[in-house]
Amino acid sequence: MNPETLLQVQNLSIEFGTSSGRLRALRGIDLEVPKGRIMGLVGESGCGKSTLAYSLSGLLAGNGEVSGGAILFDGADVTKMSDKELRDIRGRRVSMIFQDPMTALNPVITIGRQMLDIQYREPGTNAEKRARAARMLERVGIPDAAAQLGSYPHQFSGGMRQRVCIAMALLTKPDLLIADEPTTALDATLEVQIIELLRELQQEMDCAIVFVSHHLGTVAELCDDVTLMYAGEVVERGSVRDVFHNPAHPYTQALLECDPARMKVATRQLPTIPGMLPNLVDVPQGCIFASRCQHVWERCRSAHPHLSKTATVGHRAACHLLDAEGRT
């Protein structure tokens, strides 16, 4: 493994037991996050972004199972860790922020107490830890931070609550921050503020971020690299610049065409990609995007495309059109 690699997901598959059979939520996921880089994880709702994001810190729903592959965090496989080892990396090295800040906050305990508790592994007295918590709240833009330590989560507005969660997530100076749609529930102005804050904090703390979003503009703003997911597979990945300027997969091209920020003609109705996600209990043969693809041809219905190189180093896409162009 490259020493600069913090996280490497290798051929990861995850299944959920459901009443209609085994749902193959993730299949053969490969990705890499270097130290200190920001990677965007993009795809329509139901593509498996949250399943992947949660599995990175060893969190999987009770009916979920890793059916293959590995998640190497600094070389150690998260999928093989004991509960104690998982608690250890979650407490020190990996932090998460969620779409709904209340997921991470306890409604009946003050912010100050929760920020103290999260530092239980850190050295120092309680007074020092409270001071550290207040400094962190100040850093994320909470006015009158020291006095706010005595407040309960419901006393903050939605945007302020997400700032509190960011402060808590970064208090342990993690190497990896996983953010699952942290701005989706906020209005556009707050979203911009939170993105700016994340970018500043990432530079100060030099942590890597996996940033999950279905909003392409936000990913373009914040991220260095981007991974596109469709129906439980990685269909394209590369630097934000390469993928957004030169999308190689028809799914990425279609998503970009649907992005309001890029639309050339004003319209009242947002365009969407026609068709639906395939049934993941009975995964179709061939390319997973074939039923919705404008460029579909015979091979797409029978053979599964691998992530192939494009003309640009580090930029890959899983599409038979690339093989057809002769670069594999």
Ligand X SMILES: Nc1ncnc2c1ncn2[C@@H]1O[C@H](COP(=O)(O)OP(=O)(O)O)[C@@H](O)[C@H]1O
Positions touching ligand X (CB under 6 A) are 16, 18, 23, 25, 43, 45-51, 61, 63-64, 280
Q: Which is nearer to ligand X, 130 or 237 (CB)?
A: 237
Q: Which is nearer to ligand X, 36 or 46 (CB)?
A: 46
Residues 58 and 65: their CA atoms lie apart, in Å, by 11
Residues contributing to the site for Mg ion (CB under 5 A): 50
Residues 200 and 23: their CA atoms lie apart, in Å, by 39
In the list ligand X, Mg ion, none, the entry touching 48 (Cβ below 5 to 8 angstroms by class) is ligand X
Q: Which is nearer to ligand X, 43 or 159 (CB)?
A: 43
Q: How far is the CB of 49 from ligand X (least distance, A)?
A: 3
Q: How far is the CB of 183 from Mg ion (least distance, A)?
A: 13
Q: How far is the CB of 241 from Mg ion (least distance, A)?
A: 26
The CA radius of gyration of the chain, in Å to the nearest whole number, is: 21
Residue whose C-alpha is closest to residue 109's, from 78, 153, 61, 146:
153
Q: How far is the CB of 103 from ligand X (least distance, A)?
A: 14
Q: How far is the CB of 68 from ligand X (least distance, A)?
A: 16
Q: Which residue is nearest to Mg ion (CB)?
A: 50
Q: Which is nearer to ligand X, 7 or 25 (CB)?
A: 25
Residues 40 and 227: their CA atoms lie apart, in Å, by 6
Helix ranges (H only) for 24-178 are 49-56, 83-92, 111-117, 126-139, 145-148, 158-171
In the list Mg ion, ligand X, none, the entry touching 226 (Cβ below 5 to 8 angstroms by class) is none
Residues 285 and 302: their CA atoms lie apart, in Å, by 6
Q: Which is nearer to Mg ion, 167 or 178 (CB)?
A: 178
In the sheet that 64-73 helps form, which strands lie side by side, from edge to edge?
21-34, 5-18, 64-73, 76-77
Pick left, alpha or beta for residue 186 (phi over 0 → left; psi -120 to 50 → alpha; otherwise beta): beta
In the chain, the amino acid numbered 273 is I
